[in-house]
Structure 1
């Protein structure tokens, strides 16, 4: 008999770049250190990640080197070693494939696994522990979330770090997730969180309260509201697609500015224009995307890119634009910018998208057919 409820694992390597650095230099295990910095340490250098010892001092990824040194003057900074990270990422996925081949690679250091068939023979908690132990043999600590959907598995893996294993059932959502800050919701970025707080939506419980529906829709848009609400209700995707995104497709536009620009408001106007141009192509060619990325290049020709992925494909303007805006805010550190770009990745034709019919969308689907 076919199972009606999936068992999805989200496996997230803990402080991956920092873990690799400690493998390469074991002396770092007892040090407060971070990875990144770039070529200009005191002006535009940005941290890629921070060790857990550094995080205790408030040091985090995306922070400038100057800010990090203000928090802990004796901080050690090691440069990025991308070839080594790729090497250990391959080892990560090779290890996972000894358990199952039903794997979707979400990024260099995280994966979704559909283990529904395996748990006929293995308790999910014991299976997760076995995976953790196998990864630890390579000195790669990981947190694992176990849930019936990709979104809830991702939320679960974030609850206990490092080396946590969290099972999140639908019946546990109100007690486990609802007390958390709304900014903890996967897919809600800094700017979206700010908009929600302006209408007194501070926790997930506030977001899920039907009395707040109209205020939330006014703040972030109807599509974003229903997308997040369905995710939190456990109504989103439970499909781990092994093949579709092995070779990501993308469309993007970028603009090299006629002069270096460090004015946030003017840069956001430029961002909006590039976004509109890129989104028009998405709509014109009847495509959907699963990821948004923003690229900035400063006057020292240092390029930074940040990507945000969703659990299902979309072309929704508000959702994609607000996400691009959030990514810009995370990247921009008040420095002169020479180039700005926006793009969409993991592209599929609209004709390939099959939306599940639910109580929340059946009227719209009827109108579209």
Structure 2
């Protein structure tokens, strides 16, 4: 029988606000929010200190609403260079103990300390790391200790701020089964709604459910949460995971080469719609849109555009890709088009400046996108095509496009190294 693993999940507490308080000690212990356009009372709250949260300030609340809930709220605009620097220092400190460190976002990561040689117990080691981070970086963190990543992540969430929690596999029934399904790491609101429709409300209900039922309704994710309900998670701590190039893209080879802007626009709308839906399914935004154009002679170019703020909606993705096409198309017949979202960031780690009116508008667009997503997932991609996305097309072209639209750009690039970069 193999040696039991010891996994730490280190989670920085209210990271952006804590970094600002470390930079300016006069902010420590005060209700603080990080939001865009702070001087003009515009934007949304990205994160808030625990003092602000205690007064009802929670992201992604509009700033005007946060000020109403907490009139004494202090507000600072995001300084992402400062946060990245603090994150690098934090991870460098973790690497002092083991090379098996896996960053999963700017403010959290896993450590496999199973083979760390020390006179300290795992609990003492976690306490030592926590005190070093606070002393050297002036930043608070919580640490979960467990035999796998899922339980370590769950443990770190149990006591904030500045908590250290041990969660053993044998304690899962006692400590987790009574919790609602949405409180399980990896289950979002949409999955929780699907589970409710199956009569599953708690983690215990998941554990007692039929595996085939979960698989049928939730796919591989259903089997995964079934295992998690018993505290099973065999994923290794992977130091190289952070270096993986993460993107979401789709490409399609056109039925025939074209130079007609109307046809290009139609294709880019469909591709943007598909990329947007995949981004929303994975709960991520993209901060960089890349356009791929392959011409009739197979010469291929890729051009990208950094965005002023992260996006996940069809219209925003299309506008960015259309601007790239207008700027870089050389007028020759096009054989293939591709749209890719790069520089992905998890929701909750991104911010976007919004005034009250654009906030309401975006809220409506998100709700509309959710409705369209559910219809297309159920009835197919041709349902509710927007404007020029529709139109007459030969049935054989329909079938051919559906097969090709699902092709990942990364795989397409690997198969065809016939393209030039900027």
The TM-score normalised by the length of structure 1 is: 0.68
Contact 2:32/2:76, CA 8 A, preserved across alignment: yes
Q: Structure 1: 5+ residue runs without aligned partners?
A: 259-268, 280-290, 307-323, 350-369
Structure 2: how far apart are the matches of 1:26 and 1:65? 23
Instruction: Tell me the residue number matched to 2:170.
Output: 171
Shift of 1:199: 4.0
Structure 2: how far apart are the matches of 1:238 and 1:82? 30
Question: Counterpart of 1:208 in 2: which secondary structure?
Answer: helix
Contact 1:32/1:54, CA 8 A, preserved across alignment: yes
Deviations 1:84-141 (A, max 9, x none): 1111111101111221121111111111101001266431001100100110112111
Deviations 1:13-53 (A, max 9, x none): 1111111111122121232111123479656x121111000
Larger radius of gyration: 2
Distance 1:196 1:64, change over 3 A: farther
Give aligned pairs, total.
Answer: 294
Contact 1:151/1:237, CA 8 A, preserved across alignment: no
> 1:150-189 counterparts in 2 under 5 A?
150-189=149-188
Question: Counterpart of 1:179 in 2: which secondary structure?
Answer: coil
Which of 200, 203, 221 pairs up with 1:224?
221
Which of 304, 312, 315 pairs up with 2:310?
304
Contact 1:141/1:162, CA 8 A, preserved across alignment: yes
Instruction: Tell me the residue number matched to 1:24.
Output: 23
Contact 1:154/1:186, CA 8 A, preserved across alignment: yes
Distance 1:270 1:205, change over 3 A: farther
2:240 corresponds to 1:243 = yes
Instruction: Tell me the residue number matched to 2:12.
Output: 13
Question: Counterpart of 1:304 in 2: which secondary structure?
Answer: strand
Distance 1:25 1:276, change over 3 A: closer
> 1:186-265 counterparts in 2 under 5 A?
186-210=185-209, 214=213, 220-252=217-249
Instruction: Tell me the residue number matched to 1:60.
Output: 58
Instruction: Tell me the residue number matched to 1:366.
Output: none
Structure 2: how far apart are the matches of 1:296 and 1:114? 31
Contact 1:41/1:66, CA 8 A, preserved across alignment: no
Question: Counterpart of 1:30 in 2: which secondary structure?
Answer: coil
Deviations 1:42-80 (A, max 9, x none): 56x121111000111222222221332232233221100
Instruction: Tell me the residue number matched to 1:321.
Output: none
Instruction: Tell me the residue number matched to 1:313.
Output: none
> 1:273-352 counterparts in 2 under 5 A?
273-274=274-275, 293-295=284-286, 303-305=309-311, 334-336=360-362
2:73 corresponds to 1:75 = yes
C-alpha RMSD of the superposition: 3.9
Distance 1:183 1:271, change over 3 A: farther
Structure 1: how far apart are the matches of 2:76 and 2:94? 28
Distance 1:20 1:305, change over 3 A: farther
Shift of 1:3: 4.1
Shift of 1:232: 2.9
2:148 corresponds to 1:128 = no
Shift of 1:4: 2.9
Contact 1:104/1:240, CA 8 A, preserved across alignment: yes
Structure 2: how far apart are the matches of 1:87 and 1:53? 24
